[in-house]
Chain A
């Protein structure tokens, strides 16, 4: 069942992906690892950047949430600014994950997170601090980092 559902969702994402998102498989033989390229949303400091994400679907999917990491570095309160790019987003926490959630929903939720960071639930404290205290400086920093890493 897992395989069937994943391949169905993959088909959906390949044919009609959410706006600004491209999906392909890391390795053609393995439908559990997805490579995602997300354009920085238009009204955010990340505009113009292309962010690579790695989506790993566990064997228990859809009963366990998928794991998503930013492969491209991103300056964001809810994403660690390192090579792991771990992120903190409500929909993917295992105590709030619902088997009825689908990958396109998750991806649009991440786009939403880029538009509206949640500094109270931050994993990158410096960025969160800046976001709360000096929004302009934060935006500039984020733009610079986007230019530097996400081109």
Chain B
């Protein structure tokens, strides 16, 4: 940085090159003019957070135009590197990448343009999850930062169900941080794919790309002033759309009002601030802003203009605009003019289309030509290879094969090979036939065996049925006999029981046993 009482050299040398826009007049004042203190030659249009104090003091005499940062910023954008950046040869770097800043955005302050599903909203900040984590115990999801804050305020309890976040002792975890894990990819991908509004340019951006959009593309985002790479080591920041080749943070004088103005703010000054900005038209006397001179030129009623159908043959050229309106209402070309206009636009449209088509077909033709050439080449190579094959087969010079007659001369060795091949095919055919035969016989024997099995099973089944019915008859007989026996026992029990009393029961059973066999033998069946 130059000492405070010496003028900044680089700006003097290349002053005209500093003006990026032709509409911005060259200031006729330079900072080495004697009536401006060097201390006041700069001011800023942004206040970065990290500006050194003595740097700031030098520019506090002219009020800077301060544009507030969008509220979504956590902190002001910061340069990746501080101090001038030099290329390898020691010259100030012209690489625009060195002017990029790091933008830190508060994602919970972004406006979402896509619909956010209720299930993707953090219950604490009521916004879509940002870097979501999942409590391992209750599986609830939160933004990482929200959960951190909740733990700080209320301890390690789940903010939804108030149960402890600590894992049971059998799961190993040393601290609270171990009790939650990153949310599943499916959820993180969904929230990262949401569309948000860029806090600076208000454009639509995918949420995961906001910061890189601000750093690399957004026209409304801040960048370092190009003076950062130079000797002046300018620490101020400018919008990407205002980016110029050189640092404009120095004071010039407005060529209209003579006021000291920062060159970077000159356009704004001319438009809104300059005392001389209003002027009256020499022709019509209307007051207009000099900044809008072009607009007035297009509107001034006293300026000469031509009928709008002049291209189509109207002869009303260079008359005052005030009289033009009445002419245009009655102009003979007003009917045909619209038609012609329409046709011209259609024509130009068609021309564009035609050109497109032409381009496409040209490229197609090119592709086809190249493929044809390729194929031709392949064919040529193939025929040559074939000829070479024949030639080697016949033990001749490959080149002579090309000029020989087309029909190949078949030698005895070829016959041998071909006969071998024929024999092999015959053998394979025979084997196939054999296989078919075997298959057929297998199928036949299978059928036979199933029928024999069936034949054998049927009599067995019949026998089983017979046995079953005879068993049933036997069972009926037994039941009938049992009933008979029981009735007999009861009869006898009443006659004997009166004599023997309690002890008679054990005696009862023994005399019955012989009766049972005799009964069944002597009793004629009643069936």
Interface residues, chain A, with chain B CB atoms under 8 Å away: 1, 4-5, 8-9, 60, 62-64, 96, 98-100, 102
Q: What 8 A-B pairs come out closest when comparing CB atoms?
A: A100-B123, A63-B153, A99-B159, A100-B160, A1-B108, A99-B124, A1-B125, A5-B126
- Taken together as a complex, chains A and B put the C-alpha atoms of A63 and B108 apart, in Å, by 16
**Which of B124, B126, B149, B153 has its CB near the most chain A CB atoms (within 10 A)?**
B126
- Is B109 part of the contact surface with A, judged by Cβ < 8 Å? yes
CB-CB under 8 A from A62, the residues of chain B are: 124
- Separation of A62 and B146 alpha carbons in the complex (Å): 10
Provide the bound-state CA to CA distance between A89 and B413, in Å: 108
Chain B residue contacts of A98, Cβ below 8 A: 159-162
- What are the residues of chain B within 8 A of A60 when measuring CB–CB? 153
List chain B residues, Cβ under 8 A from A5.
124-127
Cα A4 to Cα B111 in complex, Å, equals 10
In the bound assembly, the distance between CA atoms of A92 and B453 in angstroms comes to 85
Knowing A1-B106, A1-B109, A100-B124 touch, does A63 contact B162 (C-beta < 8 A)? no
Cross-chain contact B125 with A100 (CB below 8 angstroms): no
In the bound complex, what is the Cα–Cα distance between A119 and B126 (angstroms)?
35
Give the distance to chain A from B135, nearest Cβ to Cβ, in Å.
12
How far is A102 from B123 in the complex, measured between Cα atoms in Å? 9
Residues of A near B109 (CB, < 8 A) are 1, 4
Chain A hits for B146, CB < 8 A:
1, 99
Q: List 18 A-B contacts (CB under 8 A).
A: A1-B106, A1-B145, A1-B146, A4-B108, A4-B126, A4-B127, A9-B126, A60-B153, A63-B152, A63-B154, A64-B153, A98-B160, A98-B161, A99-B123, A99-B124, A99-B159, A100-B124, A102-B126
The residues of A that contact B161 with a CB separation of less than 8 Å are: 98
Which chain B residue shows the least CB distance to A100? B123
Bound Cα distance A100, B146 (Å): 11
- Nearest to B130 among chain A residues (CB) is A1
Known: A4-B109, A63-B150, A98-B162. 11 other contacts (CB 8 A): A1-B106, A1-B125, A1-B145, A4-B108, A4-B126, A63-B152, A63-B153, A98-B159, A100-B124, A100-B159, A100-B160
Selected contact of A99 from candidates B106, B108, B145, B154, CB within 8 Å: B154
Residues of A near B152 (CB, < 8 A) are 63
B126–A63 touching, CB < 8 Å: no
How distant is the Cα of A64 from the Cα of B153 in the complex, in angstroms? 8
A4 to chain B, nearest CB (A): 5
Chain A residues near B149 (CB, 8 Å)? 1, 63
Nearest residue (CB) in B for A12 is: B126
Residues of chain A lying within 8 A (CB to CB) of residue B106: 1
- CB closest residue in chain A, given B153: A63
Inter-chain contacts of B123 with A (CB < 8 A): 99-100
* A64 to B124 Cα, complex, angstroms: 11
Residue from A9, A63, A99 having most chain B Cβ neighbours under 10 A: A99
The answer, among B126, B145, B150, B162, for a CB contact under 8 Å with A8, is: B126
Contacts of B159 in A (CB 8 A): 98-100
Contacts of A102 in B (CB 8 A): 126
A60 to B146, CA, bound (A): 12
Q: Which of B125, B152, B160 has the most CB of A within 10 A?
A: B125
The minimal Cβ–Cβ distance linking B502 to chain A, given in whole angstroms, is: 74
Tell me the bound Cα distance from A98 to B123 in angstroms.
10
Tell me which residues across on chain B come within 8 A of A99, comparing CB atoms: 123-124, 146, 150, 154, 159
Give B93 Cβ to nearest chain A Cβ, in Å: 39
A5 CA / B143 CA spacing, docked (Å): 14
In the complex, residue of chain B having the shortest beta-carbon distance to the beta carbon of A64 = B153
Q: Provide the residues of chain B in CB contact with A9, threshold 8 Å.
A: 126
State A78–B500 Cα separation when bound (angstroms).
91
The docked-state distance in angstroms from the alpha carbon of A25 to that of B506 is 105
Tell me the complex Cα distance, A96–B125, Å: 19
In the bound complex, how far is the Cα of B301 from the Cα of A96, in angstroms? 76
A9 to B125 CA separation, bound complex (whole angstroms): 10
Q: How far is the CA of A9 from the CA of B127 in the complex (A)?
A: 11
Report B176 CB to chain A, min CB distance, Å. Answer: 16
> How long is the Cα–Cα vector from A100 to B123 in the complex, in angstroms?
5
Q: How far is the CB of A54 from chain B (nearest CB, A)?
A: 23
Whole-angstrom distance between the Cβ of B34 and the nearest chain A Cβ: 49
Minimum Cβ distance to chain B for residue A6 (Å): 10
* B153 neighbours in A (Cβ, 8 Å): 60, 63-64
In chain B, positions 108-160 with a C-beta closer than 8 Å to chain A are 108-109, 123-127, 145-146, 149-150, 152-154, 159-160
For residue B150, which residues in chain A have a CB less than 8 angstroms away from its CB?
63, 99
**For window 58-102 of chain B, which residues contact chain A by CB distance below 8 Å?**
none
List the B side residues contacting A64 at CB < 8 Å: 153
CA–CA, A1 to B123, complex, Å? Answer: 12
Type the 1/0 row for B320-350, where 1 means its CB is closer than 8 Å to any CB of A: 0000000000000000000000000000000
**Complex CA–CA separation, A5 to B121 (angstroms):** 12
CA distance A99 to B145 in the complex (A): 13
Q: How far is the CA of A129 from the CA of B480 in the complex (A)?
A: 86
CA distance A98 to B154 in the complex (A): 9
Q: How far is the CA of A110 from the CA of B348 in the complex (A)?
A: 70
Task: Report how far A43 CA is from B108 CA in the complex, Å.
Answer: 42
Instruction: State the CA gap A100–B108 with chains docked (Å).
Output: 16
Q: Which residue of B lies closest to A2 (CB)?
A: B125
Within 18-38 of B, Cβ neighbours of A (below 8 Å) are at: none
Whether B160 contacts A4 by the Cβ 8 Å rule is no
Residue of A with least CB distance to B108: A1
- B105 CB, min distance to chain A CBs, angstroms: 13
Residues of chain B lying within 8 A (CB to CB) of residue A63: 149-150, 152-154
Q: Which A-chain residue is minimally distant from B107 (CB atoms)?
A: A1
Q: B108 to chain A: which residues have CB within 8 Å?
A: 1, 4
Find out whether the CB atom of A4 lies under 8 angstroms from the CB atom of B125: yes
Cα A4 to Cα B121 in complex, Å, equals 14
Residue of B nearest to A94 (CB): B154
Contacting residues, chain A, for B125 (C-beta < 8 A): 1, 4-5
CB proximity of B199 to chain A, nearest CB, Å: 13
Q: How far, in angstroms, from A63 to B127 measured CA to CA in the complex?
A: 16
Closest to B145 in A: A1
Q: CA separation between A130 and B160, bound complex, in Å?
A: 37
